[in-house]
Amino acid sequence: QVQLVESGGGLVQAGGSLRLSCAASGRSFSSYAMGWFRRAPGKERDFVAAISGAGGTTDYANSVKGRFTISRDNAKNTVYLQMSSLKPEDTAVYYCAAGRIYSTLVAQYGYWGQGTQVTVSS
């Protein structure tokens, strides 16, 4: 079992920055690939970023590449999403997820946090 808790969401102006954190329980954090996904109002959950267990491999959705950075601190059982140059279209509930397999696909992640709201005003 893995429990994930996101934090750091909030209301920001367009062009601003936020850093989301996801704290994980358990003793095998480094064995899990971690991902960030988001669900915008009225839309399905979409891939945002992923990072491998040791942090050596990352992937980003084209819509966030160059603006967002995923990272992890395995000693703290925490994964981060640094978001810069935020746009109103980034407004969504952001979820972190853990999976046994490194992937950009929702279906490959078995554990999910409760989500944290990010709202970007124009």
Q: From start to end of the chain, where are the E strands?
A: 4-7, 10-13, 18-24, 33-39, 45-51, 58-60, 68-73, 78-83, 92-99, 111-112, 116-121
pLDDT on residue 65:
98
Q: Quote the pLDDT of residue 1.
A: 75
pLDDT at 106: 96
Per-residue pLDDT reduced to its tens digit, 16-27: 999 999 999 977
Give the pLDDT of residue 79: 98
pLDDT at position 27: 79
The pLDDT, as a whole number, for residue 26 is 79
Q: What is the mean pLDDT of residues 32-38?
A: 98
What does the pLDDT average to over 27-32?
91
Who wins on pLDDT, 1 or 8? 8
- Tens of pLDDT, residue by residue over 65-122, are 999 999 999 999 999 999 999 999 999 999 999 999 999 999 999 999 999 999 999 9
N-to-C CA span, the chain = 40
